[in-house]
Structures are given as C-alpha cells and as structure tokens.
Amino acid sequence: MQKLEPSIKDDVQQILETIIYLYTESRRITKELARRAQLTGPQLTVVKILEQIGDLSLSELSEKIRAQNSTVTGIIDRMEREGLVVRERSTADRRVVIIKLTAKGSQLAEDIPIEPMKVFQSALSSLTKDEMRELLRILSKVSKRVKAIVRRDVDEAVGDKAKELEGQDR
C-alpha cells in the first residue's frame, strides 16, 4: 500500500507535522495572549479586529474570523455579558446587527500590545526574500493540487477513486 520510498515518506510526514505545528501554535499563542486579559482566544481576535476595522455587522465579523454566524452569536453573547461590546440594530437595514466595542472593550484592545499574527509575521520575516517567494510558490502548488484532488475525488466519489489516488503515491 505504501509506495513512497522511506525518505520521501518521512519528508511528507514532517511537512504535514510542521504545518500542523504552525497552525496549532498560532492558536496557542492567541490563547496565551488572551488569557492575560481575561479573554478567550476568539474574543481577543474579535476585540482586535473591531479595534482595527471599526464597527462590523455580525455577518462581516463572522467572515473575518472564518466562523459561522451561529458561532459568532455565542461569542458576542458572552462578550456582551462582560460589557466588552454592544449590539446595535442598523438603521439602514433593520435585519442587521452592528457590533461595537465599548470603552472597556477598546481599553482592553489597547492593553494587549501585540497581535498573535505578529509572531508569525516576524518569523516569516527571518526568511530571505528568495526563500519567501519559494515558500509561497511551493505552498501554492500544493494548495492547488489539494483543491484539484478535493474537487475530483472527495466531493464526488471517494470510494471509487481511492485506489487511483493511492496509485499516485509513487
């Protein structure tokens, strides 16, 4: 079943693990920074986004933090309970709820000096310009491949295509 030669297989495994590491680390950092302000990770994200962009509708906010509306409703519920944000009906479109930072929320945003993503930006900045280009090029290639595979094999008939997919492993 495994047709990759060992060293290649190890590379693949290590790359996957590194990507997973980078992602989970980003969440860990967010969480750690948030903890110091008595916030949760997602709450810190919301506070920082509202500070930078200004008021947003719930849907816009959901899109920014890549979560479903129903998830964000809960996050905002808890933040409103803590007095960090307020909900306001839009006068232009009364279906829309606008989320605004309160004074307390703004103060908190200021108190947290660093955005979680800054750590990654800083780390990436240690690469040479060429390395950065190369990284982006290769990651994009992988990304495109994943998208193609997903379209063909996962979204349609995983079962039928499984053998074929494994056949490509060599």
Under the binding rule (CB under 8 A), the answer on residue 65 touching a copy of itself is no
Quick one: DSSP state of residue 27?
H
Under the binding rule (CB under 7 A), the answer on residue 96 touching DNA is yes
Site map (CB under 8 A) of a copy of itself, residues 4-43, x = contact: x---x--xx-xxx-xxxxxxxx---x--xx--x-------
Among 53, 78, 88, 150, binds a copy of itself (CB under 8 A): 150
Half-sphere exposure of 34 (CA within 13 A, CB side): 18
Rounded to whole angstroms, the Cα distance separating 30 from 41 reads: 5
Half-sphere exposure of 13 (CA within 13 A, CB side): 8
Under the binding rule (CB under 8 A), the answer on residue 134 touching a copy of itself is yes
Q: Which DSSP helix (H) or strand (E) runs through 143?
A: helix 129-149
Q: Which DSSP helix (H) or strand (E) runs through 9?
A: helix 6-35
| Binding residues vs a copy of itself (CB under 8 A) | 4, 8, 11-12, 14-16, 18-25, 29, 32-33, 36, 66, 112-114, 117-127, 129, 131-136, 138-143, 145-146, 149-150, 153-155, 158-159, 161-163, 165-166, 168-170
